[in-house]
Amino acid sequence: MVEEDTRTGRDESEEERADRRWAELIQEVRVAQMGVQILFGFLLTVVFTPKYATLEDTDQTIYIVTVVLGACATGALIGPVSLHRLVSGRKVKPQAVHWASRLTFVGLLLLLATTTASLLLILRVATHDDYVPWLVAGVVGWYLLCWFVLPAWTRYRYTTR
């Protein structure tokens, strides 16, 4: 009696799957890296402008937190490249893909926090209106919907069980 193969999806080995997932992950990281590097680069210049000295203590604190978040996001999103380089040729690609994926997810969370803090700082400096937190909350809600809710719903809705 021949046992029927009940797998669904691609017919690939663990190594082939790791290679494919690695290539996909690196493409995703490139998009996120570009965003965080541009934002972080901009943030690094703010402290050298005359306006920085006139910021309230709260705004300077928000700025410092934002820069630290941006540095952490940059580290997490560049981490997969370093990981790959250090383990390349060691026959641990499936494990490397697993950890690189986790670093990328953490990087996205940190990018969300960096973007949120940046938006808060910019809107606080641009206008001291009471609606600033509501605007920021609305944008964060949009990011959460686009980056996490829709993908989670799609995963739940269309994943075969």
Q: pLDDT of 1-35, one tens digit each?
A: 444 444 456 889 988 999 999 999 999 999 999 98
Convert the pLDDT of each residue in 27-66 to its tens digit. Answer: 999 999 998 999 999 999 999 999 999 999 999 999 999 9
pLDDT exceeds 90 at position 148: yes
End-to-end CA distance of the chain: 26
Cα separation values, 37 from 52, 66, 71, 103, 104, Å: 21, 13, 9, 16, 14
Q: How many CA atoms lie within 13 A of 49 on its CB side?
A: 11
Query: Which single residue is written with the structure tokens 């021949």?
Result: 2
Distance, C-alpha 48 to centroid of its chain: 27
Model confidence pTM above 0.85: yes
